[in-house]
Amino acid sequence: MNTSNTIISHARNTIAEQAKAIANLENLVDEDFAEAVQTIHNSNGRVIFTGIGKSAIIATKIVATMNSTGTPAVFMHAADAIHGDLGNILTDDVVVCISKSGNTPEIKVLVPLIKSFKNTLIGITANKDSFLGTEADYVLNAFVEKEVCPNNLAPTTSTTAQLVIGDALAVCLLNLKGFSSKDFAKYHPGGALGKKLYLRVSGITSKNEKPQVTENASITEVIVEMTEKRLGTTAVTSNNKIVGIITDGDLRRMLSTGKSFDGLTAKDIMSANPKRIDNDAMAIDALEILESNGISQLLAEENGEYAGLIHIHDLMREGIL
C-alpha cells in the first residue's frame, strides 16, 4: 500500500470510529440530562464551564455556542479557579465541569469548593463512577470505549464526545427558549452570517442610485438614465408606481432588430409587471427571488411605490451570495 492510500485509510478509519462513538452517546442520554437542561433553563444566573487540558478547550467552544444561542455562559479554567478565579461564580450560577476521567487532581480540589458554595454542579465525564461523577448533582455521560489515537492516549474521541454533549445542551436550551433566527441575528451582527439574518433590502437600495423613467420617456432618455445611474437597468414608473423594467439586454435586443428607434418610448421596450420585492424584506429573500427566476436585478417598492433597485452584485458585495 502506498503512502497516499495509507493516509486515506487512516483518515477514514478515524472518522468511522469517532462516528460510532458519537452514535452511542444517544443511548446514554437519560433523566440526568433532562434535569440538567431544565436546571440551567430555570436558573437566574449564568452557566460556568470549567475543565483542564483538552477538556478546557472544549469548554471554551461550548461557552461560545451557549452565548450565541441566548444562554449566558462563562469559561473558568479549573487550575485558575483554585487560585482566585472562583470569584467568577455567583450565587445563581450553574457550574458545568468537564473531565474525561473525572479524577484529575484539579477536579478533586475544585469540586468540593463548588459544592460548598451551594451552586448546582453538572458533570460531563466518561466515568460516572469517578470523583466528579459521584459528586455532581447531575452527570452527563460522555463515555467512549477508547480514543481513536492508536495508543489510546491522546484525547480525540473523548473530546469529540464532550463537544457533542455540549451541543446537545445548547440545542435543548435553544428549543426551550424558543430562540428564533431573529434572536440569533442579534448575537451575530457581523460577517456574512449576520447579514443574512438582519440585512434588509432597504439597507442596499438606500445606498444605490435610483434609476427611473416614465412610460413616455424616449429611448435616448432611457439610455442616458441607465448610463448615469450605472446599474444597467431602470425602472419604468407611472405616478411613482412600478409598471415595468428596462435592462441593458432589452436595449441590445431592440438594437439587434436594425430598426430605427426614433419615436419609440420606454413603454415600447420595457418588460411589464417585473419581479419586485418589498423594501422592508430581508436581503436573503431578494437573493432567493433573483436565483429562482434567473435574473440579476430586482425592483423594490415601499407602500406600493418605487423605492429603488437591488442587483445581485450588491448581494455578492455584502457577502450574502
How far is it, in rounded angstroms, from Cα 120 to Cα 97? 11
Residue 298, SS3 per DSSP: strand
CA 39 to chain centre: 26
Question: Where do the H-state alpha helices sit in the chain?
Answer: 3-25, 31-42, 54-68, 78-81, 105-116, 131-135, 157-177, 181-187, 191-198, 202-205, 219-229, 248-256, 266-269, 283-293, 312-317
Flag whether 77 is marked binding. yes
How far is it, in rounded angstroms, from Cα 7 to Cα 296? 45
Residue tagged 436565483 (cell numbers)? 291
Query: If you ran DSSP here, which 8-state letter would residue 28 be given?
Result: G
Computed on alpha carbons and rounded to an integer, the radius of gyration of the chain in Å comes to 30
User: Which of 133, 143, 187 minimizes the C-alpha distance to 165?
Assistant: 143
C-alpha grid cell, residue 253: 435586443
CA distances from 104 to 100, 218, 312 (A): 9, 82, 56
C-alpha grid cell, residue 80: 485558575
Q: Which amino acid is at 57?
A: I
How far is it, in rounded angstroms, from Cα 153 to Cα 151? 5
Beta bridge partners of 175: none
Q: Measured at the alpha carbon of residue 36, what is the angle toward residues 98 and 74, in degrees to the nearest 5? A: 50
How do beta strands 138-141 and 297-302 pair? Answer: unpaired
The DSSP result for 126-139, as a single string, is: S-TTSHHHHHSSEE
Please report, in range form, the residues annotated as the binding site for Zn(2+).
Answer: 77
As annotated, the binding site includes 77
